[in-house]
Amino acid sequence: MSNRRGQLIILSSPSGAGKSTLTKRLRAWDPSIVFSVSATTRAPRSGEADGVDYYFMTQDAFKSQAAEGEMLEHAEVFGNFYGSPKGPVEAAMNRGQDVLFDIDWQGADQIRNSSLGAHTLSIFILPPSIKELHRRLVTRGQDSDEVIAKRMRKSWDEISRWGNYDFVLVNDDLDATERDLISIVTAARLRRIQQPSLVDHVRKLEQEFGETQ
C-alpha cells in the first residue's frame, strides 16, 4: 500500500457549468488521477473497448455485483444498468491514486453512503448565473434548441442539491476555479484518513519518546 491512500473525487454540476473542462484540467495537473470506468449492461458500440470505455457486463452479473455491494453506485437508464465497480476503484486507492467521478447528485449520494464513503471528496460546480449557464450551452454548439431547453429545465433540480457537497465552487472565472479546485484536492490529500502511514510514524515517535525518559 502507498504511504498515501487515494481518495474518491466527485465532481457534479448542471450541464454547462464547466465540469468537463475542470475535469480535464485537474487530470492535466496530476496525470496520476484516474477516471472511474463505469460498468454497463448495454452492448458495446463500435470502437469501444472493455475495461477502457466501460466494463461490459450481463444483467445477471451486474445485478449480482450490485446485490453484493460491489457497485459503489448504480442506476437504470432506458432499460440498461450503469454503475461504478468497487474493485478497480479500491485497487487504485491502495496504489495512492485518486479516482475521479463525473456523476450526478444521486450517484454522489450512493458513493458517500458506500463502504468507501469516508474517503470521498465531493465538489459541486455552480454557474455564476442562470443566464450565463444558458449562454454557455448555446455557444458550445453541441446541442439542439430542444436539448438545451431540456438541460435548462433539469438544471435547477441539480443545483438544488448543492448543500450535500463538501465544497461548492462558483465557476465565474475558469482559471480561478481551477486553482481553487487544485487547492481543495491538495489539502484533502492530507486528511488523516488518507495517510495510513501516520499510525506507524506516531508509534515510532512514542517509542523514541519512551527511550528518552
Distance between CA atoms of residues 84 and 70, nearest Å: 8
Which pLDDT score, from 0 to 100, does residue 2 have? 64
Distance between CA atoms of residues 25 and 31, nearest Å: 10
Residue 74 lies inside a defined structural domain of this protein? no
What lies within 8 Å, CB to CB, of 190 at 6+ separation is none
Residue 62 lies inside a defined structural domain of this protein? no
Distance between CA atoms of residues 73 and 97, nearest Å: 20
**Of 124, 131, 106, 128, nearest in space to 22 by CA:** 124
Question: What's the pLDDT tens digit per position in 134-174?
Answer: 998 998 877 888 888 888 988 999 999 999 999 999 999 99
CATH code at position 24: 3.40.50.300
Cβ atoms of 57 and 74 within 8 Å: the answer is no
Residue 42 lies inside a defined structural domain of this protein? no
For 123, the domain range is 8-36+98-212
Residue 76 lies inside a defined structural domain of this protein? no
Residue 16 lies inside a defined structural domain of this protein? yes
DSSP 187-203: HHTTSGGG-TTHHHHHH
Give every residue of the chain whose pLDDT is below 70, as ranges. Answer: 1-2
Based on the structure, what is the number of domains in the chain? 1
